[in-house]
Amino acid sequence: MRKLVAGNWKMNGLMADGVARARDLAARAKAKPLACEIVLCPPATLLVPVAQAIAGSGLGLGGQDCHTAAAGPHTGDIGAPMLKDAGCSYVILGHSERRQDHKESDAIVRAKAVAAVAAGLCAIVCVGETAAERASGRTEATVVRELQNSLPPKLSAAALVVAYEPVWAIGSGRTPTAQDVGSVHARIRETLRDLAADAAAVRILYGGSVKPANARDLAAVANVDGFLVGGASLNGDEFWSIAAACG
């Protein structure tokens, strides 16, 4: 399966530095394409200029969230068709920062995923346990519950990517061991079998403090089909080196 590496820029980047980073990555992709698929997820204000900067490079574009509705009276929100219109083929949904900051429930994440798929986007749905859930031995139960409740019905690998992101690993510099990542990803694969006919083809990304120093080891773990990269995606050299670790 072709691995996927998505860069989640979060709420970072003004026009000049965001476009410069996108141009730099596009130039690298044109000069020496990597085997993996690479997607940039800049803030909404940069979607269109980044789309222009990466045109013809083979790099893809993704949003960081969408509303459950396609359009309407929702001040400050973005509908999935708008992301598609701006050039996106992916959207990150249910990131723990949105689950925490905006009180997004599994049901909301599921409705967003339905909206994303209806608009022709591939939903990158994030799941992951908190430090307290891990400490009390509830890692896999949490992840399975989030999958069962956040994923839309009628799934296909073309329209769904799962990102396993332990909340305590995000931005902390700490990661689970390769063995722990392997067991959670295996459990996710098993859970997907009940939910998607082509479960074996659904890509399962790992996210949380992925760096050039740990990317190769994590990429070698069974059922790790790529990465969702936050902090390191803001540095062209680091992001490219992580993507190169995925082949």
Q: Which parts of this chain interact with ligand PGA (CB under 6 A)?
A: 8, 165, 170-171, 207-210, 228-232
Name the residue whose CB lies closest to ligand PGA.
Answer: 230
Q: How far is the CB of 70 from ligand PGA (least distance, A)?
A: 26
Strand partners, 50: none
Q: Whose Cβ is closer to ligand PGA: residue 55's or residue 167's? A: 167
Min dist. Cβ of residue 53 to ligand PGA (A)? 22
Q: Select 137 or 213, whichever has its Cβ closest to ligand PGA.
A: 213
Catalytic residue among 67, 95, 104, 129: 95
Cβ atoms of 204 and 224 within 8 Å: the answer is yes
Q: How far is the CB of 155 from ligand PGA (least distance, A)?
A: 21
Which among 65, 228, 14, 207 has a CA at the least distance from the CA of 22? 14
Q: Which is nearer to ligand PGA, 9 or 187 (CB)?
A: 9
C-beta separation of 201 from 180 below 8 A? no
What is residue 79's three-state secondary structure? coil
**Are 28 and 57 within 8 A, CB to CB?**
no
**Amino acid making up residue 223:** N
Q: Answer yes or no: 185 catalytic.
A: no
When the beta carbons of 30 and 216 are compared against ligand PGA, the nearer one is 216
Q: Is 102 assigned a catalytic role?
A: no
Output the smallest distance, CB 153 to ligand PGA, in A.
26
CA dist., res. 220 & res. 245, Å (int):
9
| CB-CB contact of 204 with 185 (8 Å) | yes
Degrees to nearest 5, angle at CA 246 with 245 and 247: 90
Positions marked active-site: 95, 165
